Structure 1
Amino acid sequence: MREALRYALRTPTVGPLAALAAAVLVFSLTTDTFMTPGNLSLVLQQTIVIGTLALGQSLIILTAGIDLANGAIAVLGTIVMAKLVFEGGNPAAALLLGLVVATLLGLVNGLLVARLGLPPFIVTLGALSVVYSTSRLYSGSRSYPVTSDLLDFWGHGVHLGGVLVTWGTFLLLGLYAFFWYVLTKTGWGRHIYAVGNAPESARLTGINVRRTVLSVYVIAGLLYGIAAWQALGRIPNADPNAYQTANLESITAVVIGGTSLFGGRGSVVGTLIGALIVNVLRSGLTQAGIDSLYQDVATGTLVVVAVGMDKVLRRGGGAR
């Protein structure tokens, strides 16, 4: 029993998975609507965009960084895509341009962090303000409807057991499976963990720390562009005021999922579970008639507890 408990404490995904199962059980027993096909479909759809943003956030946090601008980058991506098509542009070109813009913004953040050595918090805090303002200026503070089947593709799907599972859900699972493999089975993934654990030691072993960190921010930027594409399928309307708390929600998903804010420890599987926990919690509390302010209190408390547990595990030398 003691060994099992020790294993659970040292394995980042065990705790989040148990918390997710407990939340589902509690809300299933206390509400009549939580387990309905419509609500389950809504929970899955709400997880898609934040889950993809959280995936990029995970890569950055594993290197002991943080990205406060990911939601803003995704919003700008939606504006770029939808506005160009609305004005008569080619949907494929608009999609490509949106992905390129998001990736370039990730590149800029990465250069400032990796090459100039600026703190990730400061860099991405500044980027948050710049990118959101750019979105409003470029859009003229107006929203644009999605008028292309290509741009809203991820909002369509199939019914499985009465639950609508969108193509965006399958894409999300595919992305997580791919990055799980990359982080656990490739040299680049091992370099990310090494840089997050001890950048100086990683450098002395021959790892190009700057290049690794830069690559993480670039790939995260691409993921934010994909999240923008998914967002247009989720809500077929590009609004410069959308997803203003997406950065905090993605960080919450990462931390609740067991990834250390201090870098070098965690799993993208835990991040996916964390994203589900956030949306299950919000959905369940809404079904129970709990005010949204109390929902924020509950989510914030979970984050503090998760960070506190991570600190304890760090002192105890827990494995990633």
Structure 2
Amino acid sequence: MPQSPDLALAPRPAPSILATLARRNEVALLICLLALIIFFSLASSSFLTPRNLTNVLGQASLAMVAGVGVAIVVMSGEIDVSIGSLAGAVGIPLVTIMNMTESLPLGIAGALLLALVVGVVNGYLVAYLGINSLIATLGTMFIIRGGIYLYTGQRSIPDTAYLEEFFQLGNGRFFDFLPYPALISLIILAIFIYVMRMRPFGRQIYAVGGNPEVARLAGFDVRRVKFICLVISALLAGVAGILLSSRLGSAVHVAGLGFEFQVVAAVVLGGVSLAGGVGSLVGVALGVLILSFLSNGLGMLNLATEWQLVVTGGIIIAAVAFDEFKRRNQKQ
């Protein structure tokens, strides 16, 4: 039945603001970040200072680096919760080799080699043996943490080489302003944004995470894609661990405890769907910054740590609920 002219020319109802933001997740996250910055800058005179802002960026950079790797794994339809233990573990070969050779490059090579081995193990268990990624990486998380305690006797390994370049790596500032860890995280973020948006491998990750069977029929090697994603996640967790060791000035046996939950929370808050195939690294970066500024601001307001955890947990639940609303809205 043909439409009447009046109906054909009738304007469609304008979408609601909430529906528009649901389709542009990064816009909503940016608004939330700006609102947080404005609120805490009004609540505390010490918040919006160059010193505090650069400190927050330096602290956020560790979660940013590891978050890129975890986000890629989640987009491929898997999960990696071993990153916290791995970030703590890489400090051991890093500091030990530096103490023996007084060479930072050799220490970094040893740390990244350990990360590569863990990534290969995780990737093989998940992609080729078919073990659930949560179970596999949870197992390696406990094995690595137990290995740290056994090797160190639950004591820190101090940096006795006192290399200036090692100190500067985690504590120095580019042009006396931007912390080097923040600069490194921005470079890594830019590289992987390019890969995910412009390179065939990025499209393969989204395809595999969205529907592995369809991706397989399209000619993609699903197991290879997942294997590489888990190796990337481990290597980036290793980079975060190197920066963490530099900031601490030693290999600390409790380094990285709970780090995996902080990173996964930022990834989820950034709009990466745990179902796979959906998300962006820009959103992940904004999620990391939101949680970092939130933690910093609440600390400046002298809010008890317990309440900080409650607030963070509530934000994560709200982010997941928002993601569910967005998916339902897109289906309509």
The residue that corresponds to 1:257 in the other structure is 270
Residue 124, structure 1, aligned to residue 140, structure 2: no
How many residue pairs match? The answer is: 315
Amino acid corresponding to residue 271 of structure 1 in structure 2: V
Residue 172, structure 1, aligned to residue 190, structure 2: no
Amino acid corresponding to residue 149 of structure 1 in structure 2: E
The residue that corresponds to 2:213 in the other structure is 200
The 1:12/1:179 distance shift into structure 2, 3 A limit, reads: same
Question: Can you list the C-alpha shifts for 1:289-320, whole angstroms capped at 9, x where unaligned?
Answer: 111111111111111111112122223337xx
Shift of 1:209: 0.3
> Is the Cα–Cα contact under 8 Å of residues 46 and 52 in structure 2 kept in the other structure?
yes
Q: Which segments of 5 or more consecutive residues in structure 1 lack a partner in the other structure?
A: none
SS of structure 2 residue aligned to 1:2: coil
SS of structure 1 residue aligned to 2:42: helix
Which range moved further: 250-259 or 84-93?
Answer: 84-93
SS of structure 1 residue aligned to 2:194: helix
2:296 corresponds, among 269, 279, 283, to: 283
The whole-number CA distance in structure 1 between the counterparts of 2:230 and 2:291 is 24
The 1:4/1:185 distance shift into structure 2, 3 A limit, reads: farther
The residue that corresponds to 1:29 in the other structure is 42
Shift of 1:31: 1.2
Shift of 1:144: 2.1
Residue 210, structure 1, aligned to residue 226, structure 2: no
Residue 144, structure 1, aligned to residue 157, structure 2: yes
Instruction: Please show how residues 59-78 of structure 1 align to structure 2 within 5 Å.
Output: 59-78=72-91
> Is the Cα–Cα contact under 8 Å of residues 259 and 271 in structure 1 kept in the other structure?
yes
The whole-number CA distance in structure 2 between the counterparts of 1:197 and 1:94 is 39
1:156 corresponds, among 161, 164, 172, to: 172
Shift of 1:89: 5.5
Q: Which segments of 5 or more consecutive residues in structure 2 lack a partner in the other structure?
A: 1-13
The residue that corresponds to 1:181 in the other structure is 194
> Is the Cα–Cα contact under 8 Å of residues 74 and 274 in structure 2 kept in the other structure?
yes
Normalised by the length of structure 1, the TM-score is 0.94
Structure possessing the higher radius of gyration over alpha carbons? 2
> Is the Cα–Cα contact under 8 Å of residues 85 and 141 in structure 2 kept in the other structure?
yes
> Is the Cα–Cα contact under 8 Å of residues 50 and 249 in structure 1 kept in the other structure?
yes
Amino acid corresponding to residue 242 of structure 2 in structure 1: W
The whole-number CA distance in structure 1 between the counterparts of 2:297 and 2:265 is 17
> Is the Cα–Cα contact under 8 Å of residues 109 and 123 in structure 1 kept in the other structure?
yes
Q: Name the Cα RMSD after superposition.
A: 1.6
The residue that corresponds to 2:92 in the other structure is 79
Instruction: Please show how residues 292-303 of structure 1 align to structure 2 within 5 Å.
Output: 292-303=305-316
Stretches of 4+ moved more than 4 A in 1?
Answer: none
Residue 227, structure 1, aligned to residue 240, structure 2: yes
> Is the Cα–Cα contact under 8 Å of residues 270 and 284 in structure 2 kept in the other structure?
yes
Question: Can you list the C-alpha shifts for 1:49-76, whole angstroms capped at 9, x where unaligned?
Answer: 1111111111111112111110111111
The residue that corresponds to 1:269 in the other structure is 282
The whole-number CA distance in structure 1 between the counterparts of 2:175 and 2:43 is 26
Residue 45, structure 1, aligned to residue 48, structure 2: no
The whole-number CA distance in structure 2 between the counterparts of 1:158 and 1:122 is 40
> Is the Cα–Cα contact under 8 Å of residues 41 and 47 in structure 2 kept in the other structure?
yes
The residue that corresponds to 1:108 in the other structure is 121
> Is the Cα–Cα contact under 8 Å of residues 97 and 110 in structure 2 kept in the other structure?
no
Normalised by the length of structure 2, the TM-score is 0.91
The whole-number CA distance in structure 2 between the counterparts of 1:88 and 1:100 is 17
The whole-number CA distance in structure 2 between the counterparts of 1:297 and 1:214 is 35
Which range moved further: 10-19 or 96-105?
Answer: 10-19
